[in-house]
Amino acid sequence: MSTNSSLIDSVIQWAYHPDFNTFTIPNFDKPIPQWPFSTNNHFLKDIFYPFSLKTSTPIIIAITYFLSVHQFNKIVLKRQINQFKRENPNTKLPKNLKSLKPAPYSIAKTKIFKILVLIHNIFLCVYSIWTFIGMTSTIHKLSQSIFPKLFSSVKSSPISKFESFWHAICNNNDSVNQIWSNNTSLQTMGLTFYAYLFYLSKYYEILDTIIILLKGRPSSLLQSYHHSGAILCMWSGTRYMSAPIWIFVVFNSFIHSLMYAYFSLSCIHIRLPKWFKQSLTTLQITQFVLGGSLAVVHLFVRYYDTVNQKFNSCVPTSEEALAIYINVLYLTPLTLLFAAFYVDSYKKKHDLAKKNA
């Protein structure tokens, strides 16, 4: 890197508006990211990988999943109603059908099913912890080991942790020292690696809904909307290498580490205090508000490009901005659904218990 004739005071600037390119029509035919893994398996690399990142793939699967769940909900609810009538032949159905007992399928009562559910939850817990540690480690190593050295000859004062953090998460033109690239010198995997795996995990998490249905309980709108929307959000961020997708990976993996640990303990009948589950819901709502807001902030960040020696937008294209817009549109109703769930599950029950005390 050549030295500037005059040193700059800051390597991060704030703009009053997003880059104007972010308001253009996205190029949906933009080449997909490079294959992020070391294996050269033909099927995985040349067939499955491109197929999974096609625009139609997440849309078709998400819509099919969402519509199918609500069809299966009708079947499960009918089982619950029939079970209630058998057990209570002379009693009218309750007005609130949500209060009906679960009507599990036979397979859900088997020992092997319960073991598989436990393994499923443990796997997602361990995977979430691994993703959180790996992604935060990559960001930390980039911000602490790379950028302070890169800017030693162009900045009038040492680069601050705040500046190095933003450089670490913005998708800069340095093909080696950026968050999306695997960095052999730092022994870190990039966001191309973690984001793609996290995107695939959103399909795997559909098993959560299948488990609920097999246990004889309808899946809530919150559940189906949450899973289908997460698929689309992770696809858009991964497909177009949008810098703010690190937020989804880091925040969501942290929450899921706790959530699936809770589910795993529940499988072996270890009951945690009620405040723990309530805190999880609070953390999820906080994640949506804070994460969505932080994603939008990326639109206004300008970083100093060490390759071209000028300030660039952290989100320079409409394709990368698309992921932000999709996430914000997804998170707004999701936050409201979680808030309603919080009030219904904790606030109303607390007030009712207090009233009856």
Per-residue confidence of the chain (357 residues) as pLDDT tens digits? 444 446 777 888 899 999 999 999 999 989 999 999 999 999 999 999 999 999 999 999 999 999 999 999 999 999 999 999 999 988 889 888 888 999 999 999 999 999 999 999 999 999 999 999 999 999 998 888 777 776 766 777 777 888 888 888 887 766 566 788 887 777 788 899 999 999 999 999 999 999 999 999 999 999 999 999 999 999 999 999 999 999 999 999 999 999 999 999 999 999 888 888 889 989 999 999 999 999 999 999 998 887 777 888 999 999 999 999 999 999 999 999 988 888 887 765 555 445 555
Res 2: pLDDT: 42
Tell me if residue 301 falls in helix, strand or coil.
Answer: strand
pTM: 0.91
Say which residues have a Cβ less than 8 Å from residue 48's Cβ, sequence separation at least 6: none
**Structural domain includes residue 213:** yes
- Whole-angstrom CA distances from 222 to 22, 123, 210 are 31, 23, 15
Sort 243 into a burial class: Cβ within 10 Å, 0-12 / 13-18 / 19+.
buried
DSSP string, 217-255: -PPPHHHHHHHHHHHHHHHHHHHTT-TTHHHHHHHHHHH
On whether residue 163 sits in a domain, the answer given is yes
Longest alpha-carbon distance in the chain? 90
Question: Closest Cα to residue 225, out of 236, 241, 213, 209?
Answer: 209
Identify whether 26 is part of a domain: no
Burial pattern 167-195, b for ≥16 Cβ within 10 A else e, equals bbbbbbebeebbbbbbbeebebbbbbbbb
pLDDT at 349: 57
Residue 271 lies in a domain: yes
Our count of domains for the chain comes to: 1
1-to-113, 125, 151 alpha-carbon distances in Å: 59, 43, 10
Cα–Cα distance for residue pair 130/122, rounded to 1 Å = 12
Rounded CA-CA distance 74/81 in Å is: 10
Cβ(301)–Cβ(311) below 8 Å: no
**Residue indicated by tokens 């999880």:** 280
The per-residue DSSP string of 141-169 comes to: HIIIIIHHHHTTTTBSSPPPHHHHHHHHH
By the 10 Å C-beta count (0-12 exposed, 13-18 middle, 19+ buried), 2 is classed as exposed
Domain interval for residue 53: 48-356
Residue 12 lies in a domain: no
309: left (phi over 0), alpha (psi -120 to 50) or beta: left
Backbone angles phi, psi at 303, to 5 degrees: -115, 155
Closest to 26 (Cα-Cα) out of 274, 343, 294, 315: 315
Q: Is residue 113 part of a domain?
A: yes
Residue 3 lies in a domain: no
Residue 38 falls inside a structural domain: no
